[in-house]
Amino acid sequence: MDATVDITVETTSVEAEATALDSYHKLFRNAPSGVEFNKLRKRLVRLTREAIDSYGMITPRVDGTRPKWLIGLSGGKDSYGLMAVLLDLQWRGVLPVDLVACNLDQGQPNFPKYILPNWLDEYGIPHRIEYQDTYSIVTEKVPQGATYCALCSRLRRGNLYRIAREEGCDALVLGHHREDILETFFMNLFHGGKLAAMPPKLVNDEGDIAVLRPLSFCAESDLEKFADAMRFPIIPCDLCGSQDGLQRNAMKRMIADIEERMPGRKDTMIRALGNINPSHMLDRNLFDFAALAPKD
């Protein structure tokens, strides 16, 4: 009798462990189990799903096959967080999309080529590593003392579009978050003389690839905490990340100061970008002011 009881308990324990392992993607098997981390994870998942649903990011294919997304994985906290949250949603059965991670090795000095392939292989994540020496082009074309970001970004985006086509992907998915969108808005406001930000969803000029930003509602501070807790092997950018005085850094400091003085303003500002009243702006292309007249 005692032996039977022992076997039953052991079997039940093994089955329970297997069920627990099947309840989440193996990327999360060594994640913290505390209350604070679980709240953080749920918040990121909820906000990401909200952005995906709100902006119709999942576009069904005409032939009925599953859409396929190319995930831009740079090795920074944001792209790691994006990858993890999308895998979490996919594992939960609420993201019916095939995912392929892609890292574009741009030939930057001291870039540790082994980190991302090893990490992706460890967790069985489909991926493609592409080498394109855009670093030499950027450093040759950009005058000394100027910032590299604009040219670097254009070259990177062009290569990612090409790779997305080659991989049969419908969308290129990027890890831009709430602060990225707000910083872009203020850069355009102060330096570009226009009201524009990073949209959560757009289509490229050729019309064949969607660009998606599922982390649009997620806070950068949450992604930083998430990356620390998950122990992602962060790869720093030795190109633009080493330059001081970038306009974006100035915007980041300004927004952080506003948030410190008036907590909650970041969320208010991101909501405002989705709550525009054209008749209360000055753009004559969006609203016909000339036809506006009081009733007789």
Instruction: Flag whether pLDDT at 20 surpasses 60.
Output: no
283 CB-near residues (< 8 Å, 6+ apart): 195
Residue 112 in domain:
yes
Structural domain tally of the chain? 1
Range of the domain at 253: 29-275
How far is Cα 251 from Cα 255, in angstroms, rounded to an integer? 6
In one-letter notation, the amino acid at residue 206 is E
Residue 221 in domain:
yes
Residue 3 in domain:
no
Identify the DSSP state of 93: T
CA distances, 90 to each of 25, 87, 94 (Å): 9, 5, 6
Q: The domain that contains 65 carries what CATH number?
A: 3.40.50.620
Residue 182 in domain:
yes
Which pLDDT tens digit goes with each residue over 102-149? 998 876 777 788 899 999 999 999 999 988 776 767 776 666 666 666
Which pLDDT tens digit goes with each residue over 156-179? 777 899 999 999 999 999 999 999
The confidence score (pLDDT) of residue 111 equals 79
Tokens encoding 141: 């074309």
Q: How would residue 265 be classed by pLDDT, with cut points 50, 70 and 90?
A: very high
Residue 46 in domain:
yes
Enclosing H/E stretch for 147: none
Average pLDDT over residues 197-226: 96
Residue 77 in domain:
yes
Residue 177 in domain:
yes
Residue 234 in domain:
yes
Instruction: Flag whether pLDDT at 213 surpasses 70.
Output: yes
Rg of the chain taking only CA atoms, in angstroms: 23
Q: From edge to edge, which strands make up the β-sheet containing 68-72?
A: 127-131, 98-105, 68-72, 171-173, 210-212, 201-203
